Structure 1
Amino acid sequence: MTKAEIIAEIANKTGIEKVDVQETVEAFFKVVKNSMISGENVYVRGFGSFVVKKRAEKTARNISKNTAIIIPEHFVPSFKPAKAFVDKVKVGNKKAKAVNA
């Protein structure tokens, strides 16, 4: 599902104008991005956590030149779904497979 499809579905279910829904969704993503850029984690109860993970410095190999490369310590964004969310997806996929079988 694309962002446009999500916005359209939210607008249809709530009766809110698509423009207003789009502004809200964009604002949510902007807050999440800015929080993670500043090193803060974002927790959405029942949905999941947007967390910043630290990757340690490591040595890698450039196989074309056969040389060692040092990859410095860095941070990467990550998402960890909530247990309730994971459980609902598991049950939902079982129902979908049963219908398609």
Structure 2
Amino acid sequence: MPLETTRFDVLDHLKTPEERAAYLEAAFEDGDASLIANALGDVARSVGMTAVAKEAGVTREALYKALSEKGDPRLSTLLGVVKALGIHLNVTPKNEAA
């Protein structure tokens, strides 16, 4: 009997602001720039890429490129996307005990 699987789509798990924040928090904790850009792209797609691009002040195509796995968004793009998504980035000191 073959194993039955279902297709995983991360957008199915990014429906609420809390789910989006947890997803982005995990990406930032990892610290990999491409993972962070890709996660921001996932969240932007879950909200609506056209609306996010407009609010961030970039074209939709430029946003797709910047937030792709190989993208490297400029700081201004990153901050525009964060603002458009209605999220805040917080800075805390690294826990030296960890």
> TM-score, length-normalised on structure 2?
0.25
Which of the pair has the greater relative contact order for Cα pairs under 8 Å at 6+ separation? 2
